[in-house]
Amino acid sequence: MFEVLAYVYENYWRGDACPEPQQLGRKLSAVGFEAEEISQALDWLSGLRIGTVHEALPPSTAMRVYTPAEREHLGPECLGFVHLLEGAGVLPPAQRELVVDRAMAAPGAPVALSEFKMIVLMVYWSSGTEPDALVLDELSQDTSARTAH
């Protein structure tokens, strides 16, 4: 599923430039993706479109408490990454909730950090927001080989 999402992100620069699900499904099939992967990705993307209503939420100073199911499904790496983005001021509460919602809809537990980063990119993509260069670099690069200073 994440390969399909990466393809959609790379080929449709904004969420509003993406074709309707049926047309997108045909294009993805023509490119060579498996029917099951396409179906999963289209279901996931439909949840992303529905979730954009969260953008109407007012800014909040409340602390987010994750449920046990969220903590288990996201795992410590993904939760730490959310905190990093929130602390940097680049993931407002409404987008965070959409990220968590879409991560909970993703297969695998815990969600791999590389997949979680794709989810964050897709949330930015769906809202038409381009993250700044440093955030985009963090979302695009494999940071596992970096040495901490």
Q: Domain spans of the chain?
A: 2-145
CA distance 140 to 134: 10
93 within 8 A of 65, measured Cβ to Cβ? no
Instruction: Give 99's pLDDT tier (boundaries 50, 70, 90).
Output: very high
146: pLDDT strictly greater than 90: no
137: pLDDT strictly greater than 90: no
> Worst-scoring range by mean pLDDT, 19-28, 68-77, 123-132?
123-132
Instruction: Give 81's pLDDT tier (boundaries 50, 70, 90).
Output: very high
Instruction: Give the chain's count of helices (H) and strands (E).
Output: 7, 0
The residue whose two tokens read 């970096």 is: 146
51: pLDDT strictly greater than 70: no
- pLDDT, mean of residues 64-86: 94
Whether pTM exceeds 0.85: no
Mean residue pLDDT across the chain? 83
- pLDDT in the model for residue 53: 46
pLDDT tens string 54-74: 444 555 566 889 999 999 999
- For residue 80, the surrounding DSSP H or E stretch is helix 68-87
